[in-house]
């Protein structure tokens, strides 16, 4: 290793927005213990909603006190190994540990790393992003075949994988997006009906073209989109809440309308929440299946082409993702001046 120190991004305090919460700190690179490896991160995936909620102290299943580490998925290269591990220096590995992403180096237990053929940004779209899409659709959404499946924010990192998985399962897939470029991407991925919500009224399209309703909704947006999706559920339809990106950057909207059971009861429909940490037991099988689909060219992975370089670019990457401009997964690339 050329340098004895590395930089990482931490939340130094709770704040309403990501940028106000963070700072970059420099630390010595630790030597690995016998069961550890040291990884030089090459790419990190950006999860703007989770990052923002974490920095606001609004993630209920983790009780953190600042300062704490940020970032989740990363892919990189093993640069040092402990005496008891089977990894070798030069191996490409992916990690999905909270706090392991937004940093140049990480020293972790070898069991927490997963070996991949090459340290490319595409693997960050599969793990944990694609894994979440697969588990949410199958375990929570009880995805079947020959149903109508609606994916919101369908051109995003999670959405574009969900679209393809629903198609591979033999369903009619509707995808919502906010631009022509995203619509073009959805067409290329095999989406049966693309709805650009800036040009068409989502509720009107669903009422007119899908009078029997939608069987399964993979919902990432929230607010009015969520309400519209609930209103258009089919008999025994399932709506899976995967996120609510429209509210991440703001205070949560107060809702004054009749309770949701009025809409669900008469259709025997349901709204279900999905959170990956609460479905850990499905992760390994889902990961292996996704990598098989990807490496056998049955699944296309889209990484947003906008380049974000180094730790300093992460706030801009978070802002970019929250603005909804991305096509596919947003990643940050780390640059090193190695000898």
Report the pLDDT averaged over residues 291-296. 96
pLDDT at 248 over 90: no
Quote the CA–CA distance of 183 and 162 in Å, as a whole number: 15
Average pLDDT across the chain, whole number: 94
Q: Is the distance from CB of 89 to CB of 1 less than 8 angstroms?
A: no
Judged against a pLDDT cut of 80, whether residue 250 lies above it is answered with no
Rounded distance between C-alpha atoms, residue 312 and residue 308, angstroms: 9
227, 262 in Cβ contact below 8 A? Answer: no
DSSP string for residues in 15-65: -SSHHHHEEEEEEEPPPPPTTEEEEEEEEEE--HHHHHHHHTT--TT----
Q: Do residues 99 and 54 make contact, with C-beta atoms less than 8 angstroms apart?
A: no
pLDDT digits (tens, 9 = 90+) for 49-85: 889 989 999 887 888 999 999 999 999 999 999 999 9
Q: Dihedrals φ, ψ of 129, to 5°?
A: -60, -55
H-helix or E-strand spanning residue 114: strand 113-115
Q: Count other C-beta atoms under 10 Å from residue 14's C-beta.
A: 15
- On the CB side of 222, CA atoms within 13 Å amount to 16
Q: Average pLDDT, stretch 277-294?
A: 95
CA gap 65, 138 in Å, rounded: 35
Task: Write phi, then psi, for 37 (nearest 5 degrees).
Answer: -130, 155
- Helix, strand or coil for residue 167? helix
**In this structure, are residues 246 and 221 in contact, taking their beta carbons and an 8 Å threshold?**
yes
pLDDT at 23 over 80: yes
What tens digit of pLDDT does each residue of 207-244 get? Answer: 999 999 999 999 999 999 999 999 999 999 999 999 98
Please tell me the predicted confidence (pLDDT) of residue 3.
75
Sheet strands side by side (includes 68-69): 22-28, 5-11, 68-69
pLDDT of residue 227: 96
Per-residue model confidence (pLDDT) at position 251: 72
Q: pLDDT-derived band of residue 339, with 50, 70 and 90 as boundaries?
A: low
Instruction: Return the SS3 of 221.
Output: coil
pLDDT the model gives residue 59: 84
Cβ(11)–Cβ(82) below 8 Å: no
pLDDT band at 1 (very low <50, low <70, confident <90, very high): very low
pLDDT at 2 exceeding the cut of 70: no
- Give the pLDDT mean for 254-282: 94
């Amino acid at each position: 290793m050329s340098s004895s120190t590395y930089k990482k991004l931490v939340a130094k305090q709770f704040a309403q927005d990501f940028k106000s919460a963070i700072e970059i700190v420099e630390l010595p690179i630790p030597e690995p213990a016998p069961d550890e490896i040291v990884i030089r991160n090459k790419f990190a995936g950006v999860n703007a909603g989770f990052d923002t909620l974490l920095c606001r102290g609004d993630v209920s299943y983790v009780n953190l006190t600042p300062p704490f580490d940020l970032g989740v998925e990363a892919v990189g290269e093993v640069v040092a190994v402990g005496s008891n591990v089977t990894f070798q220096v030069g191996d490409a590995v992916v990690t999905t540990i909270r706090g392991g992403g937004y940093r140049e180096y990480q020293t972790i237990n070898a069991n927490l790393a997963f070996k991949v053929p090459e340290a490319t940004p595409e693997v960050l779209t599969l793990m944990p992003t694609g894994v979440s899409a697969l588990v949410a659709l199958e375990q929570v959404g009880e995805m079947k075949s020959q149903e109508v499946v609606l994916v919101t924010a369908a051109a995003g990192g999670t959405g574009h994988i969900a679209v393809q998985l629903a198609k591979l399962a033999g369903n009619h897939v509707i995808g919502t997006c906010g631009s022509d470029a995203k619509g073009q991407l959805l067409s290329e991925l095999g989406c049966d009906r693309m709805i650009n919500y800036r040009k068409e009224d989502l509720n009107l399209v669903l009422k007119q073209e899908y009078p029997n309703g939608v069987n399964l909704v993979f919902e990432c947006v929230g607010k009015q989109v969520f309400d519209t999706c609930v209103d258009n559920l089919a008999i025994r339809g399932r709506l899976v809440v995967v996120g609510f990106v429209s509210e991440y950057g703001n205070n949560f909207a107060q809702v004054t309308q009749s309770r949701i059971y009025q809409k669900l009861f008469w259709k025997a429909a349901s709204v279900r929440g999905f959170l990956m940490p609460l479905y850990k037991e499905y992760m390994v099988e889902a990961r292996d299946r996704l990598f098989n689909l990807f490496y056998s060219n049955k699944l296309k992975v889209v990484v947003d082409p906008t380049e974000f370089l180094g730790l300093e670019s992460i706030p801009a990457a978070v802002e970019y993702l929250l603005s909804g401009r991305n096509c596919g997964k947003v990643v940050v690339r780390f640059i090193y001046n190695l000898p």
